[in-house]
Amino acid sequence: MIPRRIRPLLLGWLAGIATAAIAGGVFAGLVLFAGIYNTGADNQHLRIVAWAFHRTMTSSVKRRTQPLPADALRDADVLAGARDYEMHCIACHGGPGVARAAWTSALLPTPPYLLDSARRWSPAELTTIVRDGVKMTAMPAWSEVAPDRKVDDVVAFLIAMRRLTPAAFARLRAQAATGTAPLRPGSAASEASQ
Amino acid sequence: MEKLADTVRGACFLSILALLTGCRGASDAQPVKGDPAAGKIVITRQACGSCHTIPGIELADGLVGPPLIHFASRQMIAGALPNSPSNLAAFLRSPQSVVKGGAMPDMGLTSRQARDAAAYLLTLK
């Protein structure tokens, strides 16, 4: 049935598969039970591993992002977003002229500053990340603990942050600490550029 | 007092090093040199790459501040200080005291971390 000339090749192929399976099994055993993979956060990823994790996250976010409803960000309250950012985001992500909390440099992966997050991600993608979080990082799925409206507010603030000078950010933080009047998208950005 | 002790210890270390290396360059040795490999880790951990594009640092593709490519050949730091290892380390320790009100925050680096990060940036010819 199998031509005689192919048979040795086929045998070699099967032997190769068996070898790979055994090597894979041994490697899995060493990782799972002998602890050869260091999960300590003091141990930096190899560059290729860091790249692969980040690439995986980026692809996952893009695949799971749905177009935003047209009114999602129009009705968002930038000042409320700034207030939530101040409460829940600034420690890990900092802001214009504001450093992250010192301990965040000890996180692996370490959380990024978000000054150009609106350049890196579309509003819909930012919504996916804030809403769903990122597995195996310290980024929580905020939709588990906050209504979607708040996610929209924070995303509107992230978009406004792109144009915030450090001075405008400081003013907005002060305003967020005291003010209660809603601030619509556009007004924060126009205020920031003044 | 402790600083003096450190200096003395450093001098002893350098003279021993000079003996070991046949006195080559004992006079032009910097007081304490940064370690570029350690600097690379400082730069990664401080998330410098979310605002700066930095060659050799994974995911460092930020475009908020200037790209740090060819940093060793740059003449000025933040357009304000002549580029040198000690000026760069001082700037990294407190960017706000050089560019007050700038977007780059004081990150609370130790002088050791600042020297190491500076040493890495100055490998970028």
Residue B62 and residue A100: Cβ atoms within 8 Å? Answer: no
Confidence of residue B25 (pLDDT cuts 50, 70, 90): very low
CATH C-level class of A47-193: mainly alpha
Q: B4 falls in which pLDDT band (50, 70, 90)?
A: low
pLDDT over 50 (residue B18): no
- State the Cα angle at A51 between A35 and A119, rounded to 5°: 140
Cβ of B46 within 8 Å of Cβ of A167? The answer is: no
Residue from the list A47, A94, A119 with its beta carbon closest to the beta carbon of B63: A119
CA A191/CA B123 separation, integer angstroms: 41
Residues 6+ apart with CB under 8 A from B28: none
With a cut of 50, say whether residue B27 has pLDDT above it: no
Neighboring chain B residues of A99 at a CB cutoff of 8 Å? 105-108
pLDDT at A50: 93
Q: How many domains does chain B have?
A: 1
Q: pLDDT-based confidence at A178, cuts 50/70/90?
A: confident
Please give the residue range of the domain that contains residue B104.
Answer: 2-121
Closest chain A CA to residue B63? A116
- The whole-angstrom separation of Cα A173 and Cα B71 is 34
pLDDT tens-digit map of A47-102: 899 999 999 999 999 999 999 988 888 889 999 999 999 999 999 999 999 999 99
Least confident of A12-16, A31-35, A158-162, B30-34: B30-34
Residues in Cβ contact with A143 at an 8 Å cutoff, skipping those fewer than 6 apart: A131, A132, A151
- When computed from its CA atoms, the radius of gyration of chain B, rounded to whole angstroms, is 16
Residue B11: its pLDDT value, please?
53
Q: Which residue has the higher pLDDT, A62 or A192?
A: A62
Q: Count H helices, E strands: chain A?
A: 9, 0
Q: Is the torsion defined by CA of A72, A78, A84, A86 positive or negative? A: positive
What b/e string do you get for A88-105 counting C-beta neighbours within 10 Å, with b at 16 or more?
A: bbbebbbbbbbbbeeebb
A110 and B46 within 8 Å at the Cβ level: the answer is yes
The confidence score (pLDDT) of residue A6 equals: 86
pLDDT at A70: 85
Secondary structure E strands in chain A? none
Q: pLDDT by residue (tens digit) across B56-107?
A: 999 999 999 999 999 999 999 999 999 999 999 999 999 999 999 999 999 9
What ipTM does this complex have? 0.84
Yes or no, beta carbons of B47 and A119 under 8 Å apart = no
**pLDDT in the model for residue B5:** 56
Query: Three-state SS across B49-113?
Result: HHCCECCCCCCCECCCCCCCCCHHHCCEECCCEECCHHHHHHHHHCHHHHCCCCCCCCCCCCHHH
Instruction: Tell me the nearest-neighbour CA distance from A85 into chain B, angstroms.
Output: 17
Report pLDDT digits (tens) over A23-45.
Answer: 999 999 999 999 999 999 999 99
CATH number of domain containing B38: 1.10.760.10
pLDDT recorded at residue B22? 44
Q: Is A97 close to B64, i.e. CB distance below 8 A? A: no
A contacts of B103 (beta carbons < 8 Å): 96-97, 115, 165-166
Confidence of residue B32 (pLDDT cuts 50, 70, 90): confident
How do the residues of chain A divide into helix, strand and coil, expressed in percent and rounded to 5?
60, 0, 40
Q: Which residue's entry shows tokens 């020297």?
A: B115
Between A80 and B11, the more confident residue is A80
